[in-house]
Amino acid sequence: MVRAAVFDAFGTLFDIHSLAAACEAAFPGRGEAINRLWRQKQLEYSWLRTALGRYRDFWGITGDALAYACGSLGCVLTDDIRARILAAYDSITAVPEASAALTSLRARGTGIHIFSNGTLAMLRTAARSTGLDALVDGYLSVDEAVRQYKPVPAAYHDVIRRLGAPAAEILFVSSNYFDVAGAKNVGFRVVWVNRSGAPPDALDLTPDHTLPDLTRVASL
């Protein structure tokens, strides 16, 4: 029995690669490189701040990571350019099959929640931008109570508490393997959306299902 389907946000439902266009517009020829390093440092900062006990919300981390990426690649990030690139989060696009996949789940009567390191404002803005807000029953952010980033167990236990369902009755979907491992570690039923065909990390925690995209999630 699955009482709820819980989706990671950025990279799983929302296409993080779509932000590269704003980077390219600001720094022609460097957009893809900036976007890749920006995402890498965004995640690294979340893990480092959790390990150090120095919490900063995900929007703040996102700005810090952008500054690092631009500086590292020799691109001068003025306040105006910084604002324009960060504004791309307000118009981020969904992965192509997201709407159809969530619609299929709702047709089966499954509750749908988004669980993310992102702040509630980031999640609600992204959902409105992509039109997925009408398909989502609720948003869960580590910023609300836990204030520690995935994959710490406390973040996933907070989801269990708030949904009021056993971990084994929650279907968790993510494209990020660290997130897959974190969810499996607390007993969720886990789907890894492995878009790139990457090998799994050697963490002794494996997903229940691996799919190339979200298309077949509802059939599980």
Homologous superfamily (CATH) for 4-15+92-219: HAD superfamily/HAD-like (3.40.50.1000)
Taking a C-beta distance cutoff of 8 angstroms, is the pair 82, 66 a contact?
yes
Question: Residues of CATH 3.40.50.1000 domain(s) within the chain?
Answer: 4-15+92-219
Question: Residues of CATH 1.10.150.240 domain(s) within the chain?
Answer: 16-90
Q: How far apart are the first and last CA of the chain?
A: 11
CATH 1.10.150.240 given to domain 16-90 = yes
Residue 115's closest CA among 84, 167, 155, 87? 155
Residue 42's closest CA among 63, 56, 24, 23? 63
Q: pLDDT digit string (tens) for 90-142?
A: 999 999 999 999 999 999 889 999 999 999 999 999 999 999 999 999 999 99
Q: pLDDT digit string (tens) for 147-185?
A: 999 999 999 999 999 999 999 999 999 999 999 999 999
The whole-model pTM stands at 0.95
- List residues with catalytic annotation: 8
- 211: enclosing H helix or E strand: strand 209-211
